[in-house]
């Protein structure tokens, strides 16, 4: 039995300008706002599936082709999905990495001063961008769009040259590309913004619950976001940005990944150390799986070929591999 019904789209009052001239930011609802954080609960129930020692806390995970990219404080590990017990390839990083995102035959890894393009073989090529990038997306036309939350800005690069610098009342922690459209998630304002590259400005901002944490795109042209304070999964249409769905998923959801083969959204529930899989191919999210997993499960990735779910522990519990 489903635990809740789909909420209606939020229309009246949901759309607000992201970079207006008002003295007060309309999307800043608290005087001392801060980004939502995952829960940190020791593992009390054995995690389902296999466990792999990652040698340290996991910051983020991403699957590209047959490779699992996994970041620690200053290291990128590359695991072969066909043999996860084999020793991973390692890439030393010049500092704490940001959010991983996919690139052709590899991953984009933001690090202090640059964005690394790392192939599945471990070969790394830097694009110098300066500053402290937190997220990057590569568009089909070759433009690299990079988030700089400490500067309230997004930079646009091509062939190593900066084409534009977009600034406004937005702290863009994570970027998403839907076709040629770019969106930015601001966890402090807990809002999702359209980034208007041609106009070189931030466009519409839409409230993203009470504690937007992490997001992912799906094959339906949407951005799905975990709300760690309201314990919900949020779904946004794009062009224009509109919240279309909100659905309860458990205590303090955080990590999120999409399986395009099975049309499943996987969410980590950090308050109870679980990972849950929801079918999203027919409208309302439908709970299909819920498993105990590692402590502090802040990140998750999925292998679209096998359906294996890979949950990273931000504590010392390593990586859980679940094959539903």
- Calculate the average pLDDT of the chain: 91
1 belongs to a structural domain: no
Q: What is the mean pLDDT of residues 86-99?
A: 97
275 belongs to a structural domain: yes
27 belongs to a structural domain: no
The three-state DSSP-derived secondary structure of 71-84 is ECCCEEEEEECCCC
238 belongs to a structural domain: yes
Q: What is the mean pLDDT of residues 274-290?
A: 92
More confident residue, 222 or 282: 222
Angstrom distance (rounded) from CA 314 to CA 304: 23
12 belongs to a structural domain: no
164-195: buried (b, 16+ CB within 10 Å) or exposed (e) per residue? bebebbbbbbbbbbbeebbbbbbbbbbbbbbb
286 belongs to a structural domain: yes
What pLDDT does 225 receive? 98
What pLDDT does 267 receive? 98
122 belongs to a structural domain: yes
314: its two tokens: 């931000």
DSSP letter string over 97-122? ----EEETTEEEEEETTEEEEEETTS
How confident is residue 28, by pLDDT bands cut at 50, 70 and 90?
low
* CATH number for position 292: 2.130.10.10
13 belongs to a structural domain: no
Angstrom distance (rounded) from CA 54 to CA 71: 10
Number of structural domains found in the chain: 1
Angstrom distance (rounded) from CA 125 to CA 103: 12
Matching residue, tokens 């949020």? 234
Angstrom distance (rounded) from CA 260 to CA 102: 14
- Model-wide pTM > 0.75: yes
**Domain around 58:** 33-322
Which 3 state secondary structure label does DSSP give 150?
helix
What pLDDT does 297 receive? 98
- What percent of the chain has a predicted confidence (pLDDT) above 70? 90
What pLDDT does 42 receive? 85
Angstrom distance (rounded) from CA 16 to CA 306: 42
Q: What is the mean pLDDT of residues 35-48?
A: 91
Tens of pLDDT, residues 115-130: 999 999 999 999 999 9
For residue 158, give the H/E element and its range.
Answer: strand 153-158
Angstrom distance (rounded) from CA 137 to CA 157: 11
How confident is residue 43, by pLDDT bands cut at 50, 70 and 90?
confident
């Amino acid at each position: 039995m489903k635990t809740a019904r789909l909420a209606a789209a939020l229309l009246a009052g949901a759309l607000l300008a992201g970079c207006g001239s008002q003295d007060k930011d309309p999307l800043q609802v608290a005087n001392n706002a801060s980004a939502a954080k995952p829960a940190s609960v020791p593992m009390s129930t054995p995690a389902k599936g296999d466990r792999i020692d990652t040698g340290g806390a996991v910051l983020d995970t991403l699957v590209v082709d047959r490779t699992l990219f996994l970041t620690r404080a200053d290291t990128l590990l590359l695991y072969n999905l066909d043999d996860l017990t084999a020793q991973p390839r390692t890439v030393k990083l010049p500092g704490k990495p940001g959010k991983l995102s996919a690139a052709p035959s590899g991953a984009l890894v933001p690090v202090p001063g640059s964005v690394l393009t790392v192939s599945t073989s471990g070969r790394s090529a830097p694009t110098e961008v300066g500053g402290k990038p937190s997220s990057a997306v590569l568009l089909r036309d070759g433009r690299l769009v990079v988030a700089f939350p400490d500067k309230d800005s997004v930079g646009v690069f091509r062939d190593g040259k900066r084409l534009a610098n977009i600034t406004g009342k937005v702290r863009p922690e994570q970027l998403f590309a839907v076709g040629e459209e770019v969106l930015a998630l601001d966890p402090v304002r807990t809002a999702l913004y359209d980034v208007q590259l041609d106009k070189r400005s931030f466009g519409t901002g839409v409230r993203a619950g009470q504690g937007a944490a992490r997001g992912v795109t799906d094959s339906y042209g949407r951005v799905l976001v975990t709300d760690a304070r309201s314990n919900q999964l949020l779904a946004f249409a794009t062009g224009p940005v509109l919240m279309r769905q909100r659905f309860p998923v458990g205590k303090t959801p955080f990590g999120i990944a999409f399986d395009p083969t099975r049309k499943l959204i996987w969410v980590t529930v950090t308050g109870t150390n679980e990972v849950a899989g929801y079918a999203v191919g027919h409208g309302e999210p439908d709970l299909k799986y819920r498993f105990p997993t590692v402590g502090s499960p802040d990140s998750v990735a999925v292998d679209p070929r096998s359906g294996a779910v890979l949950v990273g522990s931000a504590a010392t519990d390593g990586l859980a591999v679940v094959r539903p």
